[in-house]
Amino acid sequence: MGRSGMTDGTLAIDGGTPVRTEDLPERQAFGAAEEAQVLEALRSQNLCYATGTKVYEFARELAGLFGVTDVVRAIRKVANGPRARAGER
């Protein structure tokens, strides 16, 4: 199976094998905690990446969640899923 999931290069819409056989799971609704974070950011009236604090807070928390030193490595771990567990720190 190729990188795109096609076995013979034919798209599913053209009669090829579908990559996905089940529907995607339903999205989880945002809760009160997420709403509070958005309101806090809006009320700060500082949505600029360079001078705001929310992006940097998120980056620190995400990096800490994956036990890495910077957000770029954390994003790689999210993107790579289980393969990233054996990867860089």
Domain boundaries, the chain: 49-89
Residue 89, pLDDT score? 45
Sites in the chain below the pLDDT cut of 50: 1-6, 84-85, 88-89
Mark out the alpha helices in the chain (DSSP H runs).
Answer: 32-44, 54-65, 71-80
Q: Are 16 and 6 in contact (CB under 8 A)?
A: yes
Residue 14, pLDDT score? 92
Q: What are the φ and ψ backbone dihedral angles of 21, each rounded to 5 degrees?
A: -105, -10
Q: Are 41 and 54 in contact (CB under 8 A)?
A: yes
Residue 7, pLDDT score? 61
Q: Is the pTM of this model over 0.85?
A: no
Burial class (CB in 10 A: 0-12, 13-18, 19+), 74: buried
CA angle 67, 86, 25 (to 5 degrees): 80
